[in-house]
Structure 1
């Protein structure tokens, strides 16, 4: 099978995931009597859905985000389960409501950039505060782009990212001395 066919099959599967998820979310919005449009895109080989409003934001959508995004995380998992139930495939879809994830991505990116600078300046590792999987992924991507390494450490709500200086490549140790 060619790479083009693989990519085509992936896009077809992600489009199906997006459609199933959008149907599920539309029903949820109807039950909750909330207004919102659903935008479906594909980002980083995963379906991405956003519940947005035209014009004036519906402050009631904030209830679907919850404090620090806890309700959003739960809705994302329920939506993934609905997709899995319909398609038989595990879903990695991302859900955003009222721009919460986009705004959070900006905040986490700034925290990650500051931590990367600190590691580069000091040469010591830096442990960040606990974060959810979405936030940890944002940090890991920024750290990798900066040429450093990172690991997730801890369990459950205490899981956090540790940023480390770039590892010396085997054979470079003599050059560093």
Structure 2
């Protein structure tokens, strides 16, 4: 929930300065709305009244993602750093630290859960947002992708040689997309998915 502060001040500029000092934020992180205009009164002295300003701290999606994961690490007693960057409508979160490896899980299932929950946290502050979040730990996803591409090519060669259909182990949508992409232009095989998540698997079939 956005933090809101009501301040009385002689001017808008003075209200901004007070908010920055009290909230420990930069001017770019706040929005200000005039609730009551200040009054100079008679001769600028008698009956003068300060204005009332509503200060709202802007909740940036990158900050929300970072704080959510830092709180999760703290509660899990995992010593790690969190780096966040946004590229277009994708927020990339990388968790760095030797202890963080315990949060990857079997074939990244725990990592996927962390990513899902982080996405829910972002959705709470902006339900209409089209921003996606990608959470990684020590570049696990890049290494996993390289491993999956090698595996996909190996299975494709086997299918091309034997002309027998190969059903791979159950995979999440992210992993299936990697293999689909790796083999989409293959001369000898086609790929498709069958089943229902979480028991949905990718099939590699010889081109007839």
Judge which range, 115-124 or 19-28, deviates more: 115-124
As a proportion of its length, which structure holds more helix?
1
Q: TM-score, normalised by structure 1?
A: 0.68
1:153 maps onto 2:194 in alignment = yes
TM-align CA RMSD: 2.8
As a proportion of its length, which structure holds more strand?
2
1:103 aligned residue (143, 151, 157) = 143
What CA distance in whole angstroms lies between the structure 2 residues aligned with 1:113 and 1:146? Answer: 9
| Deviation at residue 159 of structure 1 after TM alignment | 1.0
Aligned to 2:154: 114
What CA distance in whole angstroms lies between the structure 1 residues aligned with 2:159 and 2:85? Answer: 35
What CA distance in whole angstroms lies between the structure 1 residues aligned with 2:152 and 2:132? Answer: 23
2:100 aligned residue (30, 42, 61) = 61
Aligned to 1:84: 123
Is this contact kept in 2: 1:153–1:159, CA < 8 A? yes
| Deviation at residue 151 of structure 1 after TM alignment | 1.4
Give CA deviations for 1:86-118 in whole Å, capped at 9, x if unaligned: 221365422112333233222211111112223
Structure with larger Rg = 2
Give CA deviations for 1:12-62 in whole Å, capped at 9, x if unaligned: xxxx54443222112222333323222335679633321013xxxx2x323
Do the aligned partners of residues 150 and 41 (structure 1) sit closer, same or farther apart at CA in structure 2, a change above 3 Å counting? Answer: farther
1:49 maps onto 2:93 in alignment = yes
Aligned to 2:184: 144
Give CA deviations for 1:125-149 in whole Å, capped at 9, x if unaligned: 3221111222111111101143653
Structure scoring higher RCO (CA < 8 A, sep ≥ 6) equals: 1
Q: Note the residue ranges of structure 1 that are not aligned, 5 or more in a row.
A: 1-15, 168-177
Q: Note the residue ranges of structure 2 that are not aligned, 5 or more in a row.
A: 1-59
> What SS is found at the alignment partner of 2:111?
helix
Give CA deviations for 1:154-173 in whole Å, capped at 9, x if unaligned: 12332111123458xxxxxx
What CA distance in whole angstroms lies between the structure 1 residues aligned with 2:202 and 2:195? Answer: 9
